Chain A
Amino acid sequence: MLLSILIYGLINSIILALTAIGFSLTFGISGVANFAYGGFYILSGFLVWMLLNYLRFPLLLAIALTIGVVGLLGFITYWIILLRVRGIALSEVIATFALGVGILELFRYLGFVTYEFTLPYLKKGMILIAGVPVDYQRLYIIGIGLALVLFLYFFTHHTRIGLSFRGIAQNERTAISLGIRSDWTAALSLAFGCAMGALAAIVILPLGIISINTGYEVLLIAVAVGIVGGLESVSGILIASLILGYTQVFTGTYLKPEWMMVVYLAAIVIVLTIKPSGLFGKFKELEERV
């Protein structure tokens, strides 16, 4: 049983990291709030489903198209919605949260609410890892999750755009004085974040169904992982995902499954009380000391 817990705890942790990474990129690294993240996540799932079932697209084409379209929608969202409230954190949160709710509730209104909305596995079948059966979809999740975390690290530390993201997040005025175009960087961060959310949705949703409520849950997960790990820290996201993922599996296995959701909320409260910048966050350290 312990081996099963270790393996499924790891899978659960990677799912959390994958879920949170797009949100973290946008909010933590470039400082732009995208509380429509859950909406874009579910939009991605339904978009792939519609391309597969209404237009009969091949799976890979549907996936590529969806990631591109959702990324583009993120980009447009910045210029149409966020540009007007840029820099006013609370307004950014309200505007994007309203957009996310709008997307989710539109699908509910259109009747996308039953069990029929499922995405196919990338590959069917399973293997035994130390006697514990694990299906290929979960292995894909592990692979893609780790690849994205690595990509994000190299992207933000070794590419021009990635460095400009971090520059804007650390001090926007200084970054602008050094020639970084603030609005373009912010719009790109939103596009990247949304595209990563779309990729996460496409590999994670086949394990369940595409449910409107998952959109709200995804936002909670992303916020919880970000707060626990530190919003701007890639390694923080990974460590926080491992902590939350294993805590959840242990809670479900040894306590009660209905308490699994409480783990996120408890983690948010505890970390905000003890170390508001998160386990690996640095932004607020000075303020905390003061």
Chain B
Amino acid sequence: MKRKNLFIILLVSLCFMVNPYIASAQLKPGDPIVIGVPTALGSIEGRDGWMAIQMAVEEINAKGGVQVGPNKHLLKAYAIDTREHEPGIPVHDALTAAEKLILERKPHAIALGNFRSEVLLSTMDLISKYRLPYICSIAMTPLMQKKVTEEYDKYKYIFRNCLNAPYLSMYLGGVMGFIRKEFGFNRAYIITQDVLWAKGTGAGLEKWYKENGWEVLAFDTYATGASDFSPSLIKVRAQKAQVIVPIFDMPQSGILLKQARAMQIPALIAGFISPIACENAWKVFEGEVEGMINMIYEVGPIPVKAVPKSVAFNENYGRRWGEKARTELSGHGPGPSYDSIYILASAFERAKTVEPEAVVKALEQTDMHGAIGRIRFGKDHQVIFGFDPKETAVGVGFQWKKPGQRVVVFPEGFAEAKIDLPPYMKK
């Protein structure tokens, strides 16, 4: 008898060791569904994404929670700051923070997730170990999809509902095509941050340029935290570049515009500079952003009539967090972070359980409309982006115009105006 008991104890212990998450995969009536949010809370994308998640959780809970089988369960979200956006923070530190959250809060799923692509790739093994459905809403490397496709059984828990680097290249390529058609420009100068997603986007765009008859004068990269861009700007002037293509997510990158204006660089700036995507950037940078074409990776932070939920998201965000917070909404992350909670809630309801394998299957079958447009995952677990919000999720290109407005100029389907040359380029 003693031997039998010992065997049972060993068997149960083994189960826990093999799957440390098994204990909380079951929900009892009254138990909350826990969502873990390990991300870079100090970044504007992480901060806004976390606020959007809290808003979605409150909205769902106000309606009684999530129906999982016979019972309704409230959602609870817990965040931890991984600080991965800061220069010098090792990947291991971010992983430790994520694991701490998983072990302490025992989440049923992860939302928002990693900021840095380098950290996301390492986190995938952690997520696989704990078998947690995971929706990434910031990190953009396409290597995530490659890993999911190549080792599906191991990485099937990982999904992404934000834009990735190839889709960003696709949008930027579209914007560049527009610029060439309108102004005949064909000389570009690429400047990116020295991080995986930005260099990946730059490389994709460089390929597009070469295939479409553009001349790429240079492809410079700057370390995260750098704030002096004069070496590149000197070359832009000397080589007579017509378009500067910056791709940055660090707070210091906004200063590139100020430096370009101070040095009177006669080139159109079109790309992505995270701090310049927010509605308050005109005020913060004292109007020096005028003429820049920037991206909103996923609609939501900018309301687009063709996507009604983006308008509702924008308004509700302002009501929940205040008008100042709304004008500070970053151009990447908030929309998908908000939607991720609805995506997970829907998956729990359709799966009728929080058991990870069933939730993953339900997530793969997601087909809904959110703040970013229509949400459907491809076989590689990446949400499909395109130009028609009835069919896909969408991002937009906008231009800063007087008196401090972000005017959508791309895609053509819902552009509000044409691209204008900035005043300093008009003869």
Is B220 an interface position by the 8 A CB rule?
Answer: yes
The answer to whether A133 and B231 touch across the interface, beta carbons within 8 angstroms, is no
Is B252 an interface position by the 8 A CB rule?
Answer: yes
**In the complex where A115-B251, A211-B225 touch, is A126 in contact with B234 (Cβ < 8 A)?**
no
Query: How far, in angstroms, from A1 to B238 measured CA to CA in the complex?
Result: 6
Query: How far, in angstroms, from A137 to B254 measured CA to CA in the complex?
Result: 18
Q: Which residues of A contact B275 (CB under 8 A)?
A: 114-115
* Residues 243-265 of chain A, each 1 if its beta carbon lies under 8 Å from chain B, else 0: 00000010111001110110000
Q: Which segment, of A4-12, A74-82, A91-99, faces chain B?
A: A4-12
The answer to whether A249 and B231 touch across the interface, beta carbons within 8 angstroms, is yes
Q: Which residues of B contact A209 (CB under 8 A)?
A: 227, 251-252, 254-255
The answer to whether B227 and A257 touch across the interface, beta carbons within 8 angstroms, is no
Is B367 an interface position by the 8 A CB rule?
Answer: no
Q: Across the interface, name the chain A residue whose C-beta is closest to B262.
A: A135
Main secondary structure, interface of A, reads helix
The answer to whether A1 and B235 touch across the interface, beta carbons within 8 angstroms, is yes
* Residues 1-34 of chain A, each 1 if its beta carbon lies under 8 Å from chain B, else 0: 1001100100010000000000000000000000
CB distance from B365 to the nearest CB of A (A): 38
Query: How far, in angstroms, from A1 to B240 measured CA to CA in the complex?
Result: 11
Which residues 182-196 in B have Cβ within 8 Å of A in the complex? 194
Question: Which of B87, B237, B254 is close to A115, meaning CB atoms less than 8 Å apart?
Answer: B254
Is B226 an interface position by the 8 A CB rule?
Answer: yes
Question: Which of B47, B222, B227 is close to A258, meaning CB atoms less than 8 Å apart?
Answer: B222
Is A213 an interface position by the 8 A CB rule?
Answer: yes
* Residues 104-131 of chain A, each 1 if its beta carbon lies under 8 Å from chain B, else 0: 0000100101111010000000100000
Query: How far, in angstroms, from A260 to B224 measured CA to CA in the complex?
Result: 12
Q: Which residues of A contact B238 (CB under 8 A)?
A: 1, 4
Is A214 an interface position by the 8 A CB rule?
Answer: yes
The answer to whether B221 and A258 touch across the interface, beta carbons within 8 angstroms, is yes
Is A207 an interface position by the 8 A CB rule?
Answer: yes
The answer to whether B264 and A214 touch across the interface, beta carbons within 8 angstroms, is no
Q: Across the interface, name the chain B residue whose C-beta is closest to A252.
A: B231
Q: Which residues of B contact A12 (CB under 8 A)?
A: 228, 230
Is B425 an interface position by the 8 A CB rule?
Answer: no
Question: Which of B222, B232, B251, B262 is close to A114, meaning CB atoms less than 8 Å apart?
Answer: B251
Q: Which residues of B contact A253 (CB under 8 A)?
A: 231, 234-235
Query: How far, in angstroms, from A209 to B284 measured CA to CA in the complex?
Result: 11
Query: How far, in angstroms, from A98 to B173 measured CA to CA in the complex?
Result: 48
The answer to whether B230 and A249 touch across the interface, beta carbons within 8 angstroms, is yes
Q: Which residues of A contact B263 (CB under 8 A)?
A: 133, 135
The answer to whether B222 and A257 touch across the interface, beta carbons within 8 angstroms, is yes
**In the complex where A118-B284, A213-B86, A249-B231 touch, is A208 in contact with B255 (Cβ < 8 A)?**
yes
Q: Which residues of A contact B235 (CB under 8 A)?
A: 1, 253
Q: Which residues of B contact A116 (CB under 8 A)?
A: 280, 284, 328
Residue tally, chain B, CB below 8 Å to A: 39
Q: Which residues of A contact B231 (CB under 8 A)?
A: 249, 251-253, 257, 260
The answer to whether A213 and B87 touch across the interface, beta carbons within 8 angstroms, is yes
CB distance from B185 to the nearest CB of A (A): 21
Q: Which residues of A contact B232 (CB under 8 A)?
A: 252, 257
**In the complex where A116-B284, A118-B284 touch, is A257 in contact with B234 (Cβ < 8 A)?**
no
Is B42 an interface position by the 8 A CB rule?
Answer: yes
Is A285 an interface position by the 8 A CB rule?
Answer: no
Is B11 an interface position by the 8 A CB rule?
Answer: no
Q: Which residues of B contact A260 (CB under 8 A)?
A: 223, 226, 228, 231
Q: Which residues of B contact A207 (CB under 8 A)?
A: 227-228, 255, 258-259
CB distance from B35 to the nearest CB of A (A): 23
Query: How far, in angstroms, from A256 to B223 measured CA to CA in the complex?
Result: 10
Q: Across the interface, name the chain B residue whose C-beta is closest to A206.
A: B258
Q: Across the interface, name the chain B residue whose C-beta is closest to A213.
A: B225
Q: Across the interface, name the chain B residue whose C-beta is closest to A216.
A: B88
The answer to whether B264 and A113 touch across the interface, beta carbons within 8 angstroms, is no
List 22 contacting pairs A-B, 8 Å CB cutoff, sorted by A. Answer: A8-B230, A8-B234, A12-B230, A113-B42, A114-B47, A118-B285, A126-B262, A133-B263, A138-B262, A207-B228, A207-B258, A208-B228, A208-B255, A211-B227, A213-B86, A213-B88, A249-B231, A252-B231, A252-B232, A256-B221, A257-B226, A261-B226
- Give 5 closest A-B pairs by Cβ, nearest first: A252-B231, A115-B275, A208-B227, A1-B238, A135-B262
Q: Which residues of B pack against A, CB within 8 Å?
A: 42-44, 47, 86-88, 194, 220-223, 225-232, 234-235, 237-238, 251-252, 254-255, 258-259, 262-264, 274-275, 280, 284-285, 328
Contacts A214-B227, A257-B226 known; 12 new A-B pairs at CB < 8 A: A1-B234, A1-B237, A108-B42, A116-B280, A207-B255, A213-B87, A249-B230, A249-B231, A252-B228, A252-B230, A253-B231, A260-B226
